[in-house]
Amino acid sequence: MIKSMEHAFSLAGKVVLITGGNRGIGKGIALAMAQSGADVAIMCRNENSAKETLQELEAYGGKYRFYSGDVTSQQDAKAVVDQVVEEYGRLDILVNSAGIANPYDPMSEDEDLSGWYKVLDVDLNGTFLMCHYAGLKMKEQNYGRIINITSNSSRIVNIPQKSCSYNAAKAGGDRLTKCLAYEWAGYGIRVNAIAPGYTESELVTGVKDEGETMGWVDYWKKQTPTGRFNQPIEIGAVAVFLASEAAEQITGAVITIDGGYMLAR
């Protein structure tokens, strides 16, 4: 219950685990949550980029650690959740930001179908595994907040890239969010999703303006009514809100942040 507006948006004393917290949107969320008083644990595979992010987080005076793990591994998901609870004493908030977005053409005659399976594995199965192991701890605490970073792609067809595996995985992420929100509300666990549109991160800035991907970034920007992409910290600000006391009555929501990209679709 909100006791005062002064504290309604604070995450002081909360422990958050952010998958993919080393860069891009996950890093934006890590910085926003650290500035709001949370202790932050980051899970990803690249230790070097995580070290840089931890150095930046140190400016905010909390407790920050890196955990090496692949979200597609059941063993890693369990081990990281267990380590965080052991070293921080509890786990209040899980943010699932780890994700990949490889384009995939289902009309390709290539026998290698990994373009389909890989995206589903990271973006949907990885999110599920982390929710599962964090959820078990949160049930014991009778307290938990889960935020899944899905995408506005869960509800549209992307142009010009072919991305049925990504869109299907993100649609699954939105539906998983709603099912868990309903099923876990009685355990004190709120589950929400943030569905960003194009956001300044390697996932977008890494797309080259040449060859097959020529003109893509320009097209996406022109289709965005506000005329620019999201900044990762803007996703972080909404994640802070969803994790905070101010959002106590919000569960099963999917909040779109896309500068109006979806409005005319």
Ligand X SMILES: NC(=O)c1ccc[n+]([C@@H]2O[C@H](COP(=O)([O-])OP(=O)(O)OC[C@H]3O[C@@H](n4cnc5c(N)ncnc54)[C@H](OP(=O)(O)O)[C@@H]3O)[C@@H](O)[C@H]2O)c1
CB nearer to ligand X: give 8 or 253: 253
Within 114-133, which residues bind ligand X (CB under 6 A)? 122-123, 126
Q: Is 49 annotated in the active site?
A: no
**CB 149 to ligand X: min, Å:** 4
Rounded to 5 degrees, φ, ψ at 33 are -70, -35
Of the candidate residues 17, 77, 80, 99, the single one contacting ligand X (CB under 6 A): 99
Instruction: Answer for the pair 260, 28: CB distance below 8 angstroms, yes or no.
Output: no
Of the candidate residues 8, 35, 37, 45, the single one contacting ligand X (CB under 6 A): 45
Q: CA 251 to CA 192: how far, in whole Å?
A: 6
53 sits near ligand X (criterion: CB under 6 A): no
217 sits near ligand X (criterion: CB under 6 A): no
Per-residue contact track with ligand X, 15 to 44, x per CB under 6 A? ----xx-xxxxx-----------------x
Q: Distances in Å between the alpha carbon of 141 and those of 3, 89, 137, 177, 248?
A: 21, 11, 7, 20, 16
Q: In what order do the strands lie in the sheet with 39-44?
A: 64-68, 39-44, 15-19, 93-96, 144-149, 189-196, 254-257
- Residue in 14, 27, 137, 170 annotated catalytic: 170
- Residue in 36, 151, 165, 244 annotated catalytic: 151
**CB 252 to ligand X: min, Å:** 19
CB nearer to ligand X: give 19 or 244: 19
Q: 195 forms bridges with which residues in the sheet?
A: 256
154 sits near ligand X (criterion: CB under 6 A): no
Say how many C-beta atoms besides its own lie within 10 A of residue 6's C-beta: 7
CB nearer to ligand X: give 100 or 136: 100
Give the count of residues interacting with ligand X (CB under 6 A).
30
Q: Which of 81, 98, 93 is nearest to 34 (CA)?
A: 93
Q: Which of 13, 20, 28 is nearest to 69 (CA)?
A: 20
Q: Is 151 annotated in the active site?
A: yes
Q: Is 166 annotated in the active site?
A: yes
Secondary element (H or E) of residue 135: helix 127-141
151 sits near ligand X (criterion: CB under 6 A): yes
Rounded to 5 degrees, φ, ψ at 23 are -150, 170
DSSP state of 229: P
Of the candidate residues 39, 70, 92, 234, the single one contacting ligand X (CB under 6 A): 70
Of the candidate residues 41, 149, 176, 238, the single one contacting ligand X (CB under 6 A): 149
202 sits near ligand X (criterion: CB under 6 A): yes
Cβ-based neighbours of 101, under 8 Å, separated by 6 or more: 119, 163, 166, 203
> Which residues are catalytic, by number?
151, 166, 170
Binding site for ligand X (CB under 6 A): 19-20, 22-26, 44-46, 70-72, 97-101, 122-123, 126, 149, 151, 196, 198-199, 201-204
